[in-house]
Amino acid sequence: MMRLTIEDTCIDCGLCAELAPQNIRMAPQRESAHVYRQPRTPDEERQCLAARADCPVDAIRVT
């Protein structure tokens, strides 16, 4: 399974949380997104990859 991280370059746009709501959430106190839960299913992995591809500042890393 893949592993996600979100870098400090996140601009708090919220797009990733919309595209992968099971795994990424917004953290208002930090003004950025954070990984709530690592993807567990192929569907969640697809959603996370879509969030990564659409991130306007390339802040999502997948390993």
Tokens representing 8 are 């400090």
d(CA 38, CA 18): 16
Domain residues for the domain of 33 are 4-62
Grouping H, G, I as helix, E, B as strand and the rest as coil, residue 34 is strand
pLDDT given at position 29: 80
Report the alpha-carbon distance of residue 5 to residue 7 in Å, rounded: 6
Is a pLDDT exceeding 90 seen at residue 46?
yes
| pLDDT (0 to 100) of residue 30 | 75
Q: pLDDT digits over 6-40, tens only?
A: 999 999 999 999 999 999 999 878 789 999 999 99
Q: What is the pTM of this model?
A: 0.92
Grade residue 50 by pLDDT with cuts at 50, 70 and 90: very high
**Whole-angstrom distance, CA of residue 20 vs CA of residue 15:** 9
- 55 has a pLDDT exceeding 90: yes
- Provide the domain count of the chain: 1
- State the chain's maximal CA–CA distance in angstroms: 30
Q: What CATH number corresponds to the domain at position 35?
A: 3.30.70.20
